[in-house]
Amino acid sequence: MELIGATWRKSTRSGTQGECVEVADNLPGVVLVRDSKDPSGPVLTVGPHNWRAFVDFARRR
């Protein structure tokens, strides 16, 4: 998958410990997730519906 054009961001709740994930949700039909400590490492690809379900679940915890 071509990742050019992905705009990566971290949660505003991320601390300064460097143990964060970054998300790119600006590409059509896909949400990308990666480890902020390894930006050139593997990328998890998730559909927008599944990403929303995950975020909703995490907010309830």
Q: Residue 19 and residue 43: Cα distance in Å, rounded?
A: 16
Residue 16: the pLDDT is 72
Q: pLDDT class for 4, splitting at 50, 70, 90?
A: confident
Is 5 a domain residue?
A: no
Is 2 a domain residue?
A: no
pLDDT digits (tens, 9 = 90+) for 11-59: 777 767 767 889 999 999 999 999 988 989 999 999 999 999 999 998 8
Q: Residue 53 and residue 34: Cα distance in Å, rounded?
A: 18
Q: Residue 32 and residue 15: Cα distance in Å, rounded?
A: 21
Residue 1: the pLDDT is 66
Q: What's the number of domains the chain is made of?
A: 1
Contact 54, 47 (CB under 8 A): no
Q: pLDDT class for 9, splitting at 50, 70, 90?
A: very high
Contact 46, 31 (CB under 8 A): yes
Q: Residue 22 and residue 11: Cα distance in Å, rounded?
A: 7
Residue 5: the pLDDT is 92
